[in-house]
Amino acid sequence: MRIEVSRDVFKLAQVFAISRESRTEARVLTVRITEGGATGRGECVPYARYDETLDSVTAQIEGLTATVTRAKLYDLLPAGAARNAVDCALWDLAAKQAGKRVWELAGLEKPGPEVTAYTLSLDTPEAMRAHAAKHAFRPLLKIKLGTPDDMPRLEAVRAGAPKSTIIVDANEGWSAEVYADLAPHLLRLGVALVEQPLPSGEDDALIGMQRPVPVCADESCHDHESLPKLKGKYDVVNIKLDKAGGLTEALALRDAARVQGYGVMVGCMVGSSLAMAPATLVAQGVKVVDLDGPLLLAEDRDHALKYDQAGVHPPEAALWG
C-alpha cells in the first residue's frame, strides 16, 4: 500500500466571505492510496478554526504506516481533515478493488439527487440583495451573517429572493443578546434554520432560551462524541466530513443523531466535487443538504458532480466511490 498526499488549488468564482475570514481560492489536500493496481482518492480542507493547516494535516497523513485500514485509522488519527481524506480514499480504494460502489459496500440504499442550499457570502446589504436576486430561482439559499448589524442584510436577501427558503449561518458571530433580539425577526422573515448563532464555548446560553427557529450545531458538533454536550441547546446537527473525520464516522454520527432526536444537516467546507462526493451518501433523506462547494468554484475536478433542478447528484465512479 502506498499513501500519497498533494496540494491542489481551485479558484473561486468570486470572493467568499464569512464573519471571520474571506478567500478567493480553495486550498485542499488530495490523498491517493494505491494497492494492488487500484488507487482510491479522498479530499480534505484543513480549517484554521480547528487549528489545522495544510502543513499540519499533511504531516498527520504522512505519519501513517504503509498499511492502514479504516478500522485502524480511528486509533491513529483524531476526528478532522486528515482522517477524512484517508478514510474516503480507503472507501474509494475498496470500491475499486471490489468492483462495486461504496454505497453497496456500506449497506446503503442506492443514492439519488438531493436539493442543496446555495450559499450567499457576507457582503453589503445591497450586494447580498443583488446576489439573492440572481439566485432567486434556487429553492434553498443559505446566507452568511454573524455581525451585530445583520438585519439589513437579512431583509435585503428576503427582498431579493422572496420565494426561496432561507437558512442563516452566523459562524459563531453573535452574542446571546444579539441572537435573542434577532430570533423573532428570523421567524418573521421566514428563516427555516439558524446555524451556530453563538461561539461553541459560549453556547450554554442557549439552554432555556426560546428557539422560535430551529438552531443547528456546526462548530459545536464534530463527531458522535459531541452529541451529549448538545442536549437542550440545539435542534439539528450539521455533519461535515472534515469535522467528523471521514465517511465512516459521518454515517455513525447521522444514525446516532437521529436516535437521539436531532434533525440532520449535511454540510461542507469550500472544496471540489471530490470532497462533496462521499457526503452525498450521508445526505440522503436528511433535513437540510448544503453541498454547494463546487457551485462556488470557477474550476473543478474532472468528472465533476452534476447539479440541476433535482439538486446535487451522487458521483460517477470515475470521480469517487
How confident is the model over 241-259, as pLDDT tens digits? 999 999 999 999 999 999 9
Please report, for residues 74, 80, 128, 201, 243, the alpha-carbon distance to residue 69 in angstroms, rounded to integers and kept in the order given. 9, 17, 45, 34, 20
Summarize the confidence of residues 290-295 as an average pLDDT: 96
Identity of the residue numbered 284? Q
Indicate the Cα dihedral angle 101, 105, 111, 114, nearest 10°.
-100
For residue 21, name the pLDDT band (cuts at 50, 70, 90): low
| pLDDT computed for residue 65 by the predictor | 82
Which of 89-98, 207-216, 219-228 shows the lowest per-residue confidence on average (mean pLDDT)?
207-216
How confident is the model over 227-240, as pLDDT tens digits? 999 999 999 999 99
The helix/strand/coil state of 267 is coil
| Cα separation, 126 vs 160, whole angstroms | 10
Contact 61, 16 (CB under 8 A): no
Contact 272, 278 (CB under 8 A): no
For residue 16, name the pLDDT band (cuts at 50, 70, 90): confident
Nearest to 173 by CA among 203, 207, 148: 148
Identify each DSSP E strand in 95-171 by its residue range.
118-120, 140-144, 165-169
30's enclosing H/E stretch is: strand 21-35
Summarize the confidence of residues 260-289 as an average pLDDT: 97
Write down the pTM of the prediction: 0.94
Nearest to 1 by CA among 41, 36, 31: 36
192's enclosing H/E stretch is: strand 191-195
For residue 146, name the pLDDT band (cuts at 50, 70, 90): confident
* Chain-centroid distance, C-alpha 199: 18
